[in-house]
Homo-oligomer: A and B are copies of this chain.
Amino acid sequence: MKQTSAFAAKTARSPLESFLIERRPVGATDIQIEIDYCGVCHTDLHFVNNDWGMSEYPIVPGHEIVGRVSAIGAEVTKFKVGDSAAVGCMVKACGECESCKKGQEQYCLNGFTATYNSPTEDPGSFTYGGYSKSIVADESFVLSMPDNLDLKATAPLLCAGITTYSPMKHWNAGPGMKVGVVGLGGLGHMGVKFAHALGAHTVMITTSPEKGDNAQSLGADEVLLSTDSDAMAKEMGQFDFILNTIPVNHAIDPYLDLLKVDGTMCVVGAVEPLEKVNAAQLIFGRKTLVGSLIGGIKETQEMLDFCGEKEIVSDVEMIQINEINHAFERLVKSDVKYRFVIDMKSL
């Protein structure tokens, strides 16, 4: 089915504009979702700009997708028409490798199919994302939304949420642990909410006193200003776990200093080479530097259910689709608290 309503970038760094795309017909195990809201992830902008050299145009970005089921295939069992439903960063994986068998499709050894810009047999040959009227996906990659949450504020849970929840759970953030979150953006603000909700002593680590204040209103127990060398020295060796959400290369040695012996810093923001990781810091204290990528489908559902139970949503700024290019400009300047979400009814 052709849509006239997607918003796509046709070439590198071109502004998004309305563009014809075609979705595949609804197959036996497929669900068609009429999209209500789509979050704006920094990754979307990286792909629009071809920052990682892997963009295939036209690109329809968007992998924080929530809406309502508008059609289902004959064999669908999990959903019925009218249900709220969501799609995150993945729409397919091999299902047979060691990672998939563990429910960790994000580490599929044969490579998962991303929600946009991945090769597919669908019309257009590459997947198209959620800046669109609708999407068709296999039910095994469609999530159920808790019915007690404000749907538009749940969209960022599908990427920013699971990206921060998964490492918090994997490294056992909880009571008795001191957990730091570095950086207060789309990821960081969810990291603070989850660390707090899981019962960890939660510390916002930031360069900005204002962001520190904001983080406390999100649930942080303490603020550590990384520009305050006395405060940083006092906190040396005090943290069990640090979630590092800084989206670009940066000096990580001040943060490694904060870790306890056997402490862990998990990088989820900077998908690029980090300069001068000091092995001496890792050796003297058996400290771990590790990364983490979104989360599996089962864990994403668990995260959404946890959000329903704890009434956790993202802090969002709603925009109309014709404001998206301006939103990208503001995103580059981190001028958003903390996630833009597009009201797709404006399309």
Q: Sort A-B residue pairs by CB-CB distance and give the 10 closest, nearest first.
A: A282-B291, A283-B291, A273-B276, A277-B277, A107-B261, A288-B290, A271-B280, A289-B289, A273-B278, A267-B279
A228 on the B face (CB < 8 A): no
Return A105 CB to nearest CB of chain B, in Å.
11
- Does A26 reach chain B (CB closer than 8 Å)? no
What separation, in Å, do the CA atoms of A261 and B112 have in the docked complex? 14
| A283/B261 in contact, CB under 8 A | no
Contact of A286 among B98, B283, B287, B291 (CB under 8 A): B291
A interface residues, how many (CB within 8 angstroms)? 34
With a cutoff of 8 Å between Cβ atoms, the chain B residues found around residue A292 in the complex are 283, 286
Q: Does A27 contact B (CB under 8 A)?
A: no
Cβ contacts under 8 Å, A267 to chain B: 279, 282-283
- Determine if B289 and A293 form an interchain contact, defined as CB atoms under 8 angstroms apart: no
**Which residues of B have CB within 8 Å of A286?**
107, 170, 290-293
Residue of B nearest to A261 (CB): B107
Interface majority SS (helix, strand, loop, mixed), chain A: mixed
Which residues of the other chain, B, contact A75 by a CB distance below 8 angstroms? none
Which among B273, B282, B290 is the interface contact of A287 at CB below 8 angstroms?
Answer: B290
B contact residues around A277 at 8 Å (CB):
273-274, 277, 289
- Distance to closest chain B CB from A306 (angstroms): 20
CA distance A247 to B21 in the complex (A): 55
Interface string of A132-151 (1 = CB under 8 A from B): 00000000000000000000
A49 on the B face (CB < 8 A): no
Listed by A's residue number, 7 A-B pairs whose Cβ atoms lie within 8 Å are A170-B286, A267-B282, A271-B283, A274-B278, A281-B291, A282-B289, A287-B290
Whether the Cβ atoms of A261 and B104 lie closer than 8 Å is yes
Q: Does A103 contact B (CB under 8 A)?
A: no
The answer to whether B283 touches A293 (Cβ under 8 A) is: yes
- In the complex, per-residue mask of A263-278: 1 if CB is within 8 Å of any chain B CB, else 0: 0000110111111111
Q: Judging by beta carbons under 8 Å apart, are A279 and B272 in contact?
A: yes
Q: A107-B284, A274-B279, A283-B291 are known contacts; what are 20 more A-B pairs with Cβ within 8 Å? A: A98-B261, A104-B261, A107-B261, A109-B237, A109-B261, A271-B283, A272-B278, A273-B277, A273-B279, A274-B276, A275-B275, A277-B277, A281-B291, A282-B289, A284-B293, A285-B291, A285-B293, A286-B291, A286-B292, A286-B293
